[in-house]
A and B are shown apart, each in its own frame.
Chain A
Amino acid sequence: MKELTRREFLRSLVGGTTRAGFGTGLVYGALELREGRTAPAGARGDLGIVRPPGAQIEVDFLSSCIRCTECADACPAQCIRYFGPEAGALHATPYLQTDQRACTSCLDCGHACPTEALAVLERKEDIAMGTAVVDERLCVSHNGSGVCGACHTACPLRNRAIVQDYRNAPTVNPEHCTGCGLCEEFCIVKDRRAIRVVSGRLLLGPSDEARS
């Protein structure tokens, strides 16, 4: 066996450990195990991305958002999350996972935003994050398996955005619904919510332009 000089030994040692460390970082990045933090872009399927209140249309939002973290720091409900690098162009932009934690319409994020990516809104009625849609086959009040009314109770615009019918069956009024998602968070049907927020805000899609 060839004898190593001290220099060669140290060099191989340091070289090996740095290579190992660098490789570990890359593997972590590639595996991207962001448990519970982010959903890949479009994970909500055709429901679209729910942006925080006051967000401009998607094209303008992506160009003016500087990907700081001020909106999440300002959010008292801690409902604002960020996409991870696996989301590509959406990396580090804010979104809401409304079935887990919904917006409380405090409007602090608009005041915190250093650019006008999130506009300053004065009234919670001005929020337009999306629209709640009731799945009448899943909703216990609609399908006759029970009497619930949780979404109506949770709604910040009660009797305007959500009105109740026979057996507390909810009906969403899209004109008033802000898409805050409180109804979705508190829906008692847990596997697939019977009321879900649809934003129509697909990345750079035409429906987004139509929304403006």
Chain B
Amino acid sequence: MRLPQVRRLQVVRHCVQLTVLLSLFLIPTIARYQNYVSAREADRVIEKWQGTLAGGVIASVDSVFRALPGGETERAGSMQRNRQRIGRYTHQVRGSVWSADIGPVSLTDPLAAAESVVGSRHFPWVLAVGLVIPVLVTMLLGRVFCSWVCPAGLLFEITDALRGVLRFLEINPRNLRMARGTKYGMLAAGLLLTFVVAAPVLGYIYPPAVLSREIHDFVFATFDRAEHGRFGFWVGGMSWMAVVMLTIVAIELFVSRRWWCRYVCPGGGLYSLLGAARPVRVKLRHESCTDCALCVAACPIGLNPMKNQMGIECDNCGACISSCNDAALGYGLGVHQSASIDSDGTDETLAEDAA
């Protein structure tokens, strides 16, 4: 059975990724705004911080809340109460891609849960509840977190595009290939270290977690500084993220294409293992395929869809499907496929080097 091809799948996917990245900034901002509202300080703060970054952000959040139904009423006195009532709903959305609560729905990254369980030798019920949806979705659809949600994945895709710019400037970036098993080694080593030192360690280098935390910290720091009368853009709150992300981006730009997601990411490894028996896979219609290898060039994970052997590494992003001019690729249902670690395409078909 073949699922219908979704048109403009990549546009939709990038929109979802952007929304996630934007909400990493928005959730702490709204939490902070609600704090000012409940402290009866929102209007004073907007007035006082006029013309600054923090003031502008708070003012625009405030105008959006006023525009919402029930946000502004005739009587000026009830304004505060209405904003607080809306705040009761926004208060239900919290967290980041590492762990989030959206209303009654609780979501926790399986890697975070694994680290917590291994580190504390204790598996509480709240954690199990938060794991249900991510694990079920991964078992059905595979590594979709990597392609649809992960904010670092979006940044690395931009880095990947920058490699094209480098090549245009006649600086040929290298494309070092490593063993795909490295990520499972990272996962095992990280969990072992977590067990030994009884504190999560992978969360400090896992890019989506680092991004979530440091963006949150950055937003809070911006308002904290504003409360102390210091304004202006300030990048210091993103210090650890700068170290982690700049290292990865530098390697991906000059040494190895999509290095982190392909070879190293422990979270991607865990998602790969969870999605090993997923029913939704990318399938090839042999009779339509013209062996043009466009899909091989498009695959961010560096797989070869023309082999029709999408194993556990594929993140179902659909880049190969969108790149195919002959409608030879599409999502299909079926579990009976090799669950071994995927091999790369051959050197002749790996198009990055050919380009």
Contacts and interface: CB of A to CB of B under 8 A. Distances in A.
B127 A114 contact: yes
A35 B253 contact: no
A106 to B, nearest CB: 10
Contacts of A25: 242-243, 246
A77 B37 CA distance: 11
A81 B116 CA distance: 21
Contact of A78 (B32, B113, B243, B250): B32
Range class of the B interface residue count: 35 or more
A32 B240 CA distance: 9
Contacts of A18: 250, 253-254
A7 B119 CA distance: 51
A166 interface: no
Contact of B199 (A29, A62, A76): A62
B124 A116 contact: yes
Given A22-B250, A26-B242, A114-B108, A68 B96 contact: yes
A82 B217 contact: yes
A26 B240 CA distance: 9
A115 B130 CA distance: 9
Interface stretch (A39-47, A84-92, A126-134, A140-148): A84-92
B266 interface: no
Contacts, number: 174
Contacts of A113: 126
Nearest to B168: A10
Contacts of A68: 95-96, 98-99, 112, 209, 212-213
Nearest to B92: A74
A210 interface: no
Given A29-B239, A84-B239, A69 B216 contact: yes
| Residue among A28, A64, A74, A91 facing the most chain B CB atoms (10 A cut-off) | A64
B127 A115 contact: yes
A208 B10 CA distance: 52
Contact of A29 (B28, B209, B212, B242): B242
B7 interface: no
A122 interface: no
A29 to B, nearest CB: 4
Given A73-B94, A78-B32, A114-B99, A62 B108 contact: no
Across the A-B interface, the 8 shortest Cβ-Cβ residue pairs: A73-B94, A25-B242, A63-B119, A68-B99, A64-B120, A29-B239, A116-B124, A63-B120
Interface of B: 27-28, 31-32, 34-35, 38, 91, 94-96, 98-101, 106, 108, 112-113, 115-116, 119-122, 124, 126-127, 130, 166, 169-171, 198-200, 203-204, 209, 212-213, 216-217, 220-221, 224-225, 228, 230, 234-240, 242-243, 246, 250, 253-254
Interface of A: 6-7, 10-11, 14, 18, 21-22, 25-26, 28-29, 31-37, 59-60, 62-70, 72-78, 81-82, 84-85, 89, 91-92, 112-117
